[in-house]
């Protein structure tokens, strides 16, 4: 490759990386009801880009040194398992070290971040490996195709684990949590392995329709991902409606809260609260109250009593904001 070719390839890699970062940002934005802190999403993305590849390669090298596994076994099932375990560690660390994780949608967001971070590094590695021996056009094609394929499979598989981790978080006992974690890890590895085996199969067959089949398979991956995302978002909306309805019955919040907070378009309008900054804070408090209640109901009794203290504090803050606004409106009417 000439210096110009290398510069063009680096530019393509930069655009690819920017695209994958934008996808993570878009998925974060779509989590409309209880968005995760951006610094945590960025940290998990960096875990997927930096730590996970090192752990996966170290694991594969160790097992390769003590066994005689062939290419099909390594690429077809062992590699995907090691990669999914490495990416999953970053998502699990969020649950252990942070109190921001609440539900399957959160797991999907963090899993996507970890998976796409891994895809960024994988693109760089493959491009660097072939930079000296392929033409510019082939290099650019490699970047584009790998961005479409690797990003899709890493996002779907890691998001599957993240969603199952969310169900594990909401489970009542350790046995259920362990089952969900096992389902998530095996499911993510199976999705990834199935994709790799399909690629190996297509690569071994001299078929002019190979690319056409890939062009059909890639949209299926993304549609599967989007369907999963919107199913989780719908589940979040139902949780908000159910939990806030209880708060209305307990006279913690007024009726209009139930008509506004579970619906994104209504919540972003200004009519229901005069101050934009206070509106944002109150919406976050109400959504956090709903999700914390939902999680506490699934904890063992001893754990739920301790976790219930946060619910009490959230109710106190919400009542204080509502009472303050009521007092201001009363003074305005009198004046």
pLDDT band at 316 (very low <50, low <70, confident <90, very high): very high
Task: Find where tokens 């680096």 sit.
Answer: 10
Question: pLDDT value at position 103?
Answer: 81
Q: What is the mean pLDDT of residues 54-71?
A: 76
For the chain, what are the domain ranges? 3-204, 240-334
Buried b / exposed e along 298-329 (16+ C-beta atoms within 10 A)? ebeeeeeeebeebbeebbeebeebbeeeeeee
Is the torsion defined by CA of 271, 272, 275, 277 positive or negative? Answer: negative
Q: Which is more confident, 320 or 9?
A: 320
Q: What is the mean pLDDT of residues 201-213?
A: 66
Residue 207's Cβ-side half-sphere holds a number of Cα atoms within 13 Å equal to 13
Enter the pTM of the model: 0.81
Q: Which is more confident, 209 or 251?
A: 251
- Can you point out the beta strands (E) in the chain? none
Question: pLDDT value at position 157?
Answer: 92
Is the pLDDT confidence value at 18 over 60? yes
Read off the tokens for 204.
Answer: 């071994």
Return the percentage of the chain with pLDDT > 70, whole number: 81
Is the pLDDT confidence value at 40 over 90? yes
Is the pLDDT confidence value at 266 over 70? yes
Q: Which is more confident, 106 or 200?
A: 106
112 neighbors 175 (Cβ within 8 angstroms)? no
Q: Which is more confident, 242 or 31?
A: 242
Q: Which is more confident, 128 or 161?
A: 161
Is the pLDDT confidence value at 172 over 80? no
112 neighbors 155 (Cβ within 8 angstroms)? yes
pLDDT band at 153 (very low <50, low <70, confident <90, very high): confident
Q: What is the mean pLDDT of residues 134-144?
A: 64
For 75, residues 6+ apart whose C-beta sits below 8 A from its C-beta are 196, 200
Question: pLDDT value at position 31?
Answer: 81
Is the pLDDT confidence value at 334 over 60? no
pLDDT band at 9 (very low <50, low <70, confident <90, very high): low
Integer Rg of the chain from CA: 24
Element (H, E) at 250: none
Question: pLDDT value at position 204?
Answer: 63
Question: pLDDT value at position 65?
Answer: 64
Q: Which of 68-77, 177-186, 255-264, 266-275 has the lowest mean pLDDT?
A: 68-77
Is the pLDDT confidence value at 331 over 70? no
Tens digits of residue pLDDT in 269-298: 777 888 888 888 898 899 889 988 887 877
Q: Which is more confident, 32 or 112?
A: 112
Q: What is the mean pLDDT of residues 252-281?
A: 85
- Cα torsion 197, 192, 184, 108 to 10°: value is -160
Q: What is the mean pLDDT of residues 32-54?
A: 91
253 neighbors 244 (Cβ within 8 angstroms)? yes
Read off the tokens for 60.
Answer: 């594969």
pLDDT band at 183 (very low <50, low <70, confident <90, very high): very high
150 neighbors 119 (Cβ within 8 angstroms)? yes
Q: Which of 35-49, 95-109, 270-284, 291-305 has the lowest mean pLDDT?
A: 291-305
């Amino acid at each position: 490759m000439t210096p110009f070719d290398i510069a063009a390839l680096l530019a393509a890699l930069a655009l690819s990386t920017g695209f994958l970062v934008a996808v993570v940002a878009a998925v974060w934005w779509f989590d409309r009801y209880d968005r995760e802190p951006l610094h945590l999403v960025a940290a998990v993305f960096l875990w997927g880009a930096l730590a996970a590849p090192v752990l996966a390669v170290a694991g594969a090298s160790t097992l390769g040194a003590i066994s005689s596994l062939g290419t099909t076994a390594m690429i077809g099932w062992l590699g995907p398992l090691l990669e999914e375990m490495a990416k999953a560690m970053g998502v699990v660390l969020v649950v252990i070290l942070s109190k921001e994780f609440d539900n399957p949608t959160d797991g999907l967001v963090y899993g996507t971040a970890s998976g796409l971070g891994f895809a960024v590094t994988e693109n760089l590695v493959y491009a660097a490996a072939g930079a000296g021996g392929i033409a510019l056009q082939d290099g650019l094609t490699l970047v584009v195709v790998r961005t479409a394929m690797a990003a899709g499979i890493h996002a779907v598989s890691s998001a599957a684990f993240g969603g199952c981790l969310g169900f594990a978080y909401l489970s009542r006992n350790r046995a259920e949590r362990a089952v969900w974690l096992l389902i998530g890890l095996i499911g993510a590895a199976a999705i990834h392995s199935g994709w790799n085996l399909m690629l190996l199969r297509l690569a071994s067959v001299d078929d002019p329709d190979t690319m056409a089949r890939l062009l059909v398979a890639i949209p299926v991956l993304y549609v599967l991902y989007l369907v999963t995302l919107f199913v989780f978002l719908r589940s979040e909306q139902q949780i908000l409606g159910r939990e806030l309805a209880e708060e209305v019955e307990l006279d913690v919040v007024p009726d209009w809260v139930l008509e506004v907070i579970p619906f994104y378009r209504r919540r972003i309008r200004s009519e229901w609260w005069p101050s934009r900054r206070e509106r944002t804070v109150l919406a976050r408090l109400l959504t956090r109250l709903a999700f914390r209640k939902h999680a506490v109901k699934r904890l063992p009794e001893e754990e739920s009593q301790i976790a219930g203290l946060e619910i009490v504090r959230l109710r106190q803050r919400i009542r204080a904001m509502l009472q303050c606004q009521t007092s201001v409106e009363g003074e305005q009417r009198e004046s």
